[in-house]
């Protein structure tokens, strides 16, 4: 079944069920305006120096059966001034949950996060990246699933059946930042003859033992990371064509907390991406300075190292990279926060700087600032075609 058909079935069944409900609905969510400004002219003259965009993400939630059952519906819509691919609609969540004493069952579209590190989410694989939303890959598309969690003294065992593969979203011709040449997502090809109808499976055991949080997982199915192959579009212009491989991935995520220190490790071995097997890990620490200068503010110092044994052939920029970062939390009424990061590729010397900051205004508004800069990228780096796309972005969100 395709994602669209699954979504349609789910929406119709929810409408049929909700018709019989006689209780007050619970709505929340946000509406956000975003302005992005690029410091340089783009590589492609169809792109722009600045863009304006609006998004809305309402959320409906209802629980019954003494909190043992719930329904969540989170649609998302964005309009972008220039980029037709970024103007898009998605169902982030549409899930029925049934919880019992030692199990939980979830059916529907959902978002699941696995992992512990900050600068890369290596083992996180259930959801596809909604890349047009944010170039850092933190935003995800809703994934249809049946998820059964078996909860025992020895930990939680999660089984996922994942029908309806989601293709990664890529910026359109006027979108920015993006690769050059652009990715033609409509021409995506699959290693599996079942294409996007392949049903994927995942199994994860997770547990907290004293100071440790641990997760071990296996995934079998369509890789969320496409290989980007040079090709031509229908107008015979050069484009990148996404190729989705069928993979097996086994992963570990581990975290240890000791007072001021959080130690983190994510590691995986993946078979099937480009045929062979590869190994990758991300690991590091976050050290928190509590109450700096006798204030209420906390400063977290973050260091992480990324390794991918495909090295320069890795399609990811995180092949042998060092990340250093600082997170400031003012712990004030407005929840003022800032995160600054610096990533150095220790092989080719390319550098990424990023900053994110946010602050609440009153009770219902929030202002968010984001900036990203890439320098010293050699032509063989996956970041090379983003070299002109340094930007600063301001968002104002209304929350209800």
Q: Using CB under 8 A as the criterion, which residues of the chain lie in contact with another protein when the complex forms?
A: 28, 30, 61, 63, 70, 97, 99, 101-102, 104, 111-113, 115-116, 138, 149, 151, 156, 206, 208, 210-211, 213, 255, 257, 259-262, 286, 288, 290-291, 296, 298, 331-335, 360, 363-364, 366, 397, 399-400
Least distance from C-beta 217 to another protein, angstroms?
A: 15
The secondary structure of the chain, three-state, reads: CCHHHHHHHHHHHHHHHHHCCCCCCEEEEEEEEEEEEECCCCCCCCCCCEEEEEEEEEEEEEEECCCCEEEEEEEEEEEECCCCCCCEEEEEEEEEEEECCCEEEEEEEECCCCCCCCCCCCCCCCCCECCCCCCCCCCECCEEEEEEEEEECCEEEEEEEECCCCCCCCCCCCCCCCCCCCECHHHCEECCCCHHHCCEEEEEEEEEECCEEEEEEEEEEECCCCEEEEEECCCCCEEEEEEECEEEEEEEEEEEEECCEEEEEEEEEEECCCCCEEEEEEEEEEEEECCHHHCCCEEEEEEEEEEECCHHHCCCCCCEEEEEEEEEECCCCCCCEEEEEEEEECCCCCEEEEEEEEEEECCCEEEEEEEEEEECCCCCCCCHHHCCCCEEEEEEEEEC
Nearer to another protein, 112 or 343 (CB): 112
Nearer to another protein, 29 or 371 (CB): 29
Nearer to another protein, 52 or 261 (CB): 261
Least distance from C-beta 310 to another protein, angstroms?
A: 27
Least distance from C-beta 173 to another protein, angstroms?
A: 30
Q: How far apart are CA 81 and CA 294, in angstroms?
A: 46
Question: Could you give the C-alpha distances from 312 to 53, 265, 279, 368, in angstroms and in order?
Answer: 36, 22, 14, 35
Nearer to another protein, 40 or 260 (CB): 260
Nearer to another protein, 344 or 396 (CB): 396
Least distance from C-beta 156 to another protein, angstroms?
A: 6
Least distance from C-beta 232 to another protein, angstroms?
A: 38
Nearer to another protein, 1 or 338 (CB): 338
Gyration radius from the chain CA atoms: 22
Least distance from C-beta 359 to another protein, angstroms?
A: 11
Nearer to another protein, 187 or 360 (CB): 360
Nearer to another protein, 39 or 212 (CB): 212
Nearer to another protein, 233 or 288 (CB): 288
Least distance from C-beta 21 to another protein, angstroms?
A: 17
Least distance from C-beta 136 to another protein, angstroms?
A: 12
Least distance from C-beta 356 to another protein, angstroms?
A: 13
Give which of 261, 281, 148 is closest to 204, Cα–Cα.
Answer: 148
């Amino acid at each position: 079944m395709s994602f669209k058909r699954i979504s349609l079935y789910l929406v119709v069944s929810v409408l049929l069920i909700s018709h019989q409900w006689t209780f007050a609905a619970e709505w929340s969510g946000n509406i956000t305006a975003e302005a992005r400004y690029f410091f340089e002219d783009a590589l492609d003259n169809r792109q722009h120096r600045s863009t304006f965009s609006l998004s809305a993400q309402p959320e409906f939630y209802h629980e019954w059966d003494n909190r043992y059952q719930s329904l969540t519906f989170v649609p998302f819509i964005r309009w972008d001034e220039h980029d037709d691919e970024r103007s898009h609609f998605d169902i982030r969540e549409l899930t029925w949950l049934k919880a019992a004493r030692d199990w939980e069952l979830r059916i529907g579209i959902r978002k699941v996060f696995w992992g512990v590190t900050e600068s890369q989410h290596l083992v996180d694989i259930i959801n596809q990246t909604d890349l047009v939303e944010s170039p850092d890959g933190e935003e995800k598309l809703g994934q249809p699933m049946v998820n059964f969690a078996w909860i025992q003294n020895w930990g939680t065992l999660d089984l996922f059946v994942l029908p309806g593969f989601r293709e990664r979203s890529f910026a359109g011709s006027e979108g920015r930042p993006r690769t050059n040449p652009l990715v033609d997502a409509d021409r995506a090809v699959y290693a599996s003859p079942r294409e996007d109808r392949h049903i994927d499976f995942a199994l994860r055991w997770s547990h907290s033992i004293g100071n440790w949080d641990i997760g071990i997982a296996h995934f079998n199915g369509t890789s969320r990371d496409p290989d980007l192959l040079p090709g031509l579009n229908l107008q015979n212009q050069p484009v990148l064509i996404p190729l989705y491989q069928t993979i097996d991935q086994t992963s570990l995520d581990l975290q240890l907390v000791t007072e001021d220190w959080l130690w983190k490790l994510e590691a995986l071995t993946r078979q099937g991406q480009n045929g062979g097997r590869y190994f990758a890990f991300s690991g590091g620490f976050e050290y928190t300075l509590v109450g700096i200068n006798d204030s209420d503010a906390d400063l977290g110092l973050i260091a992480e190292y990324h390794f991918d044994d495909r090295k320069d052939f890795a399609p990811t920029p995180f092949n042998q990279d060092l990340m250093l970062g600082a997170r400031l939390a003012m712990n004030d009424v407005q929840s003022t926060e800032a995160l600054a990061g610096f990533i150095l590729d220790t092989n080719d010397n390319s550098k990424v700087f990023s900053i994110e900051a946010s602050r609440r205004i009153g009770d219902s508004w929030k202002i968010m600032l984001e900036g990203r800069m890439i320098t010293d990228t050699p032509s063989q780096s996956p970041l090379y075609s983003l070299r002109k796309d340094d930007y600063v972005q301001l968002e104002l969100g209304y929350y209800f």
